[in-house]
Amino acid sequence: VVARAAGLDMDVIVSAALRIVDADGLDGLTMRRVSAALGVTAMALYHHVDGKERLLDLVVDQSLTALPMIEDDLRDFFIALHRMLVARPALAQAMAARPLEGPVATAAAERALAALRRSGFNDDQAANTFVSMFSYTLGASLYRISRTPLRATGEFPGVDADRTPAVHRVRRTLAASATDEQRFRRVLDTLLAGEPPH
Amino acid sequence: VVARAAGLDMDVIVSAALRIVDADGLDGLTMRRVSAALGVTAMALYHHVDGKERLLDLVVDQSLTALPMIEDDLRDFFIALHRMLVARPALAQAMAARPLEGPVATAAAERALAALRRSGFNDDQAANTFVSMFSYTLGASLYRISRTPLRATGEFPGVDADRTPAVHRVRRTLAASATDEQRFRRVLDTLLAGEPPH
DNA sequence: ACCTGAACACCGTTCAAGT
DNA sequence: ACCTGAACACCGTTCAAGT
């Protein structure tokens, strides 16, 4: 019955959403919970944000501000991105589903392309290298997230019981590789060297 | 009021879910719609499947049966996977969120590791190479999916209006690279060669 | 312009009941 | 064992109304 100014604006909403995503996962993010955390009706959010999907875009873009500025070495940036996505899995899943075309993301891409050109790449090579490194980082983060909590056996009907020892070995081997940050760094190096300024 | 056998079983349910996922996307997959497609109550599904998340795991695993058997060249397999994920984006998003430990996925991993060992890799090198190639394929597919429908400008509040030409250029460059299958193949080659059997 | 309250059309899942 | 019907505790979003 009040309807008085609640100091609501886009940044406040995005910050609240980010906290909820970190605490309760991607499925825990609902307009109603965000509004409750701000002491406001769910409908109040719609005056500042276009809807849940747009809110998620803003959350993803905002989360990128936690990463270090790109200077010359792209490796540092992607290692930091990888660490962040592993630590905040909901963000990785959100990035997998959303376009990633916010202002922060675009600015980072511009800086990355400029850095690559400075080191001798032409426009195409720079774009290819950046896209490859980003794709690999996202995929490696998602794969690692899904492998980290090694699941109980027998959850999947249809796996022959007598094959499970072998299945277990395969899973353990792959999980070990997925959590190996040395491997991650080596692949980044490989991708950086893969498109040489011939 | 009937409650008569409806020929329902797990495979029928998974197939129906797969059709819905392809037609309506990941968000379009609901227990109620799957059940409606089968002419059955939503609750009937729960006698054959543990819940929506488990159903999604089964859908993801089942979708992998459409891929070619892994013989010796892993490239063919990952190129086929990439094509499938781009053509069926909901599956890519589901793979990004689910563990990928079904029987079909595990069998494919076993065959891939065996093929790598035959070509001279030891266990660790084989696992690293497989994980890298899979991670990259998943990430590249997701990135490409999100870049393909080039969005309208001005959707993101906070992008300075006078920067939009530059922003546009960056986006176009990256979109072009993302849809370049030649680049995708070259990176796969690089990853295959990156962990040489020294 | 900013916010509320009620309502609509959905969700996943539980539970008692039927055959 | 297999299925139904009603119900519970949620969703996102629209819309008329209030200040």
What is the DSSP secondary-structure string of B53-103? HHHHHHHHHHHGGGSPPP-S-HHHHHHHHHHHHHHSHHHHHHHHHS---SH
Cα separation, A97 vs A101, in Å, equals 12
Q: Give, in order, the Cα–Cα distances in Å from A42 to each of A14, A36, A37, B17.
A: 14, 7, 10, 32
User: By the 8 A CB rule, do B141 and A131 touch?
Assistant: no
Does the beta-carbon distance from A132 to B187 stay under 8 Å? Answer: yes
Reported confidence tier of residue A147, pLDDT bands at 50, 70, 90: confident
Residue whose CA lies closest to nucleotide D3 C1': B3
Put simply, whether A97 touches B (Cβ < 8 Å) is yes
User: How large is the average pLDDT for residues B108-116?
Assistant: 97
A185: closest chain B residue by CA = B132
pLDDT of residue B155: 65
pLDDT of residue A198: 43
User: How large is the average pLDDT for residues B53-74?
Assistant: 97
User: By the 8 A CB rule, do B13 and B45 touch?
Assistant: yes
Cα separation, A185 vs B8, in Å, equals 48
Put simply, whether A162 touches B (Cβ < 8 Å) is no
pLDDT of residue A179: 83
From the list B99, B170, B180, which residue is nearest A109 (CB)? B170
User: How large is the average pLDDT for residues B116-132?
Assistant: 96
Give the side-chain half-sphere CA count within 13 A for A71. Answer: 3
pLDDT of residue A49: 98
Does the beta-carbon distance from B180 to A134 stay under 8 Å? Answer: no
From the list A101, A157, A187, which residue is nearest B151 (CB)? A101
Q: Is residue B158 scored above 80 in pLDDT?
A: no
Q: Is residue A1 scored above 60 in pLDDT?
A: no
The answer to whether the C-beta of A30 is closer than 7 A to strand D is: yes
Q: Report DSSP letters for B173-188, one per residue.
A: HHHHHHT-HHHHHHHH
pLDDT of residue A4: 57
pLDDT of residue B153: 53
pLDDT of residue A8: 92
From the list A106, A139, A180, which residue is nearest B138 (CB)? A139
Q: E strands, A48-149, where?
A: none
From the list B92, B123, B138, which residue is nearest A173 (CB)? B123
Does the beta-carbon distance from B101 to A178 stay under 8 Å? Answer: no
**What is the residue-averaged pLDDT of chain B?**
90
The answer to whether the C-beta of B47 is closer than 7 A to strand D is: yes
The C-alpha of A182 sits at a distance from chain B's nearest C-alpha, in angstroms, of 10
Put simply, whether B89 touches A (Cβ < 8 Å) is no
CB atoms within 10 A of CB A98: 18
**What is the residue-averaged pLDDT of chain A?**
90
Does the beta-carbon distance from B93 to A96 stay under 8 Å? Answer: yes
The answer to whether the C-beta of B198 is closer than 7 A to strand D is: no
Of A12-16, A23-27, A178-182, the one with minimum mean pLDDT is A178-182
- Pick from A96, A156, A106, A137: nearest CA to B160: A106
B100: closest chain A residue by CA = A146
Residue whose CA lies closest to nucleotide D6 C1': B43
pLDDT tens-digit readout, B69-110: 999 999 999 999 999 999 999 999 999 999 899 999 999 999
User: How large is the average pLDDT for residues A102-131?
Assistant: 96
Of A3-17, A77-91, B92-106, B111-125, the one with minimum mean pLDDT is A3-17
CB atoms within 10 A of CB B94: 21
Cβ neighbours of B191 in A, within 8 Å: 187, 190
- Pick from B66, B59, B67: nearest CA to B28: B59
